[in-house]
């Protein structure tokens, strides 16, 4: 049958029904379709070459600006097959816009652009591979405006050749097994908040090149058990205010021990003290006895019993309350050092009868030879520095063994560089982007916060002109009540009120 005598599709649909039109023979020209699908009813006089290409709906996706969809068309080089409901398949041969597009009536679909790039748009998408799935991308970005759940029933291996960066408002990890971390380099952690660790077992920390810990504030270590600290070098402990060591039993031993202070107490009620030399600038008190080889005092020695050799005791340069200088005759009656007297009876000559003549005694030898005493005493005259108040002050404040003054982050410089709450006047505790600054400025309190706005201007995230209420290049703004905007071309003779538009505040 000849195609020139074929009645229009609309006529056949009315006279013979849809079924007759769908069973028509093959039509060879471009103005009718034997399937009744294209052209649509009422469009029989139009060719299958459309006037212009459509685009699939990207639903606000951030498509790169250099992406060419290929929507420009040239007559005779653009072909589209469109169904009654609006589905279409497009082939575009227009130079620079060559593309193939499969488009659903809702706007979703697949677009193969001029450069071979593929854009897929859908309201919902499901990919299922019963076996293996391989995806290889040179560079890319994945954006999920909602939530993303990644379920892996086997192992998950992530290999990153460059940097691995994670930026999140909150992070939670649950590991139901061991964790091994190997770092070939430095590790740096910056925490704007607190750090807590709870370990039910033990632990070991090994540092092979030193460790330095700085704490601003209190440091509390509670140990229910033994606490041991060993050092192969020098152990230094200083405190600017006070050191307190208390225990039911304490042991301090050293080959060379120095314990000194300007004031204080050493000893106890049941203490035993063994020493070579005892130096007292004022008084040595003993409630029962002093048993020593040499006792020196600059003022006095008061004691119940003083034991020692003659040479030792007589060298005490003080007023001794006792009989130390006569210790060699202690317990001996004084008159026994003299000869017995003579008694002459009345029959004797030259003497009255019955008279008694006393004998004259001799000096028992209380005088001490100084030279012999010096030789007899094994004396150690070596002296150490007297720990006076001035000496101790210099020792604590000027010596290399004195108190170390500790200052960690003076004026909170480091803290404020991490926690931005202070420098942003409470607007944010971290650095924010320019987009976040614009959102913050929607709050009038933030717009009027001079510290915050000045900081954002200095960081280049806010224009210094943001406070201006008029656009740039506008020198003055008149009262908006007096501004009249005219631009119409009046027809006839209407009144001014009908041809004028006023802008009210």
The DSSP line for 132-185 is: ------SS-----SS------SS------SS------S------SS------SS
CB 259 within 8 A of CB 243: no
CA distances in angstroms from 172 to 182, 189, 193, 228, 276, listed in the order given: 21, 16, 16, 35, 67
Round to whole Å and give the CA distance between 256 and 304. 34
Phi and psi torsions of 372, nearest 5°: -70, -35
Round to whole Å and give the CA distance between 23 and 471. 67
CB 301 within 8 A of CB 316: yes
Which among 297, 335, 296 has a CA at the least distance from the CA of 312? 296
Phi and psi torsions of 26, nearest 5°: -75, 135
Round to whole Å and give the CA distance between 286 and 278. 14
CB 4 within 8 A of CB 32: no
Which among 361, 319, 322 has a CA at the least distance from the CA of 341? 361
Range of the domain at 457: 410-467
Number of separate domains in the chain = 2
452 domain residue, yes or no: yes
281 domain residue, yes or no: yes
143 domain residue, yes or no: no
Joined together, the tokens standing for residue 1 give 């049958």
CB 238 within 8 A of CB 403: yes
Round to whole Å and give the CA distance between 128 and 474. 60
Query: What sign does the dihedral 399-400-405-410 (CA atoms) show?
Result: positive
Joined together, the tokens standing for residue 233 give 């070098």
CB 439 within 8 A of CB 428: no
422 domain residue, yes or no: yes
311 domain residue, yes or no: yes
335 domain residue, yes or no: no
Joined together, the tokens standing for residue 191 give 């925490």
Phi and psi torsions of 358, nearest 5°: -75, 150
CB 106 within 8 A of CB 124: no
Reported in sequence order, the residue ranges of 171-291 that DSSP labels E, i.e. its strands, are 283-291
pLDDT in tens, the chain (505 residues): 444 444 454 454 455 454 433 433 444 444 444 444 445 555 444 434 444 567 888 887 878 878 888 888 888 888 888 888 889 999 999 898 899 999 999 999 999 999 988 999 998 888 899 999 999 988 888 888 889 999 999 999 999 989 999 888 888 899 988 999 888 888 888 888 888 888 888 888 888 888 889 888 889 888 888 998 888 889 988 888 889 888 888 898 888 888 888 888 888 888 888 888 877 777 777 766 666 666 666 666 665 555 554 444 444 444 444 444 444 444 444 445 555 666 666 555 545 556 666 666 555 555 544 444 444 445 667 777 778 888 888 888 887 888 888 888 888 888 888 888 888 888 888 888 888 888 888 888 888 888 888 888 888 888 888 877 666 666 665 565 665 555 555 666 666 665 555 555 4
pLDDT at 274 (0 to 100):
85
Joined together, the tokens standing for residue 384 give 């150490």
501 domain residue, yes or no: no
424 domain residue, yes or no: yes
Last residue of a domain, one of 308, 325, 342: 325
Cβ count near 421 (within 10 Å): 15
Joined together, the tokens standing for residue 265 give 């107490």
């Amino acid at each position: 049958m000849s195609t020139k005598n074929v009645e229009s599709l609309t006529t056949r649909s009315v006279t013979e029904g849809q079924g007759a039109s769908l069973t028509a023979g093959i039509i060879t020209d471009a103005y009718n379709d034997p399937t009744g699908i294209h052209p649509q009813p009422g469009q029989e006089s139009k060719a299958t070459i459309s006037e212009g290409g459509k685009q699939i709906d990207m639903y606000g996706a951030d498509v790169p600006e250099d992406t060419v969809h290929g929507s420009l068309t040239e007559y005779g080089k653009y072909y589209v097959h469109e169904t009654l409901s609006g589905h279409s398949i497009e082939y575009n041969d227009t130079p620079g816009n060559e593309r193939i597009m499969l488009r659903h009536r809702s706007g979703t679909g697949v677009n193969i652009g001029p450069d071979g790039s593929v854009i897929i748009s859908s309201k919902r998408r499901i990919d299922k591979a019963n076996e293996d799935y391989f995806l290889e991308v040179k560079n890319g970005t994945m954006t999920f405006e909602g939530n993303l759940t990644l379920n892996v029933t086997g192992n998950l291996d992530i290999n990153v050749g460059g940097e691995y960066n994670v930026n999140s408002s909150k992070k939670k990890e649950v590991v139901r097994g061991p964790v091994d971390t190997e770092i070939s380099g430095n590790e740096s952690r910056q925490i704007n908040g607190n750090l807590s660790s709870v370990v039910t077992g033990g632990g070991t920390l090994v540092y092979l090149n030193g460790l330095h810990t700085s704490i601003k504030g209190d440091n509390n270590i509670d140990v229910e058990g033994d606490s041991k600290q060993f050092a192969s070098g020098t152990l230094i402990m200083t405190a600017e205010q006070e050191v307190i060591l208390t225990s039911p039993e304490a042991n301090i031993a050293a080959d060379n021990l120095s314990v000194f202070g300007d004031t204080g107490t050493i000893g106890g009620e049941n203490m035993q003290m063994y020493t070579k030399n005892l130096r007292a600038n004022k008084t040595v008190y003993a409630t029962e006895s002093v048993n020593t080889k040499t006792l020196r005092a600059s003022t006095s020695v008061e004691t119940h019993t003083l034991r020692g050799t003659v040479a030792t005791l007589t060298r005490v340069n003080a007023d001794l309350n006792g009989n130390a200088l006569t210790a060699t005759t202690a317990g001996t009656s004084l008159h026994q050092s003299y000869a017995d007297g003579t008694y002459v009876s009345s029959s004797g000559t030259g003497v009255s009868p019955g008279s008694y003549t006393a004998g004259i005694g001799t000096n028992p030898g209380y005088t001490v030879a100084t030279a012999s005493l010096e030789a007899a005493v094994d004396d150690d005259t070596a002296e150490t520095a007297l720990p006076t108040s001035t000496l101790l002050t210099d020792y604590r404040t000027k010596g290399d063994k004195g108190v170390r003054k500790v200052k960690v982050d003076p004026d909170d410089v480091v803290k404020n560089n991490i926690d931005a709450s202070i420098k942003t006047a409470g607007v944010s505790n971290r650095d924010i982007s320019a987009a976040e600054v614009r959102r913050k400025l929607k709050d009038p309190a933030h717009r009027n916060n001079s510290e915050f706005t000045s900081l954002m201007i200095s960081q280049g995230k806010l224009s210094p002109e943001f406070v201006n209420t008029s656009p740039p290049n506008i020198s003055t703004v008149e009262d908006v009540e007096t501004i009249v905007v005219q631009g119409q071309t009046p027809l006839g003779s209407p009144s001014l009120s009908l041809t004028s538009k006023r802008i009210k505040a």
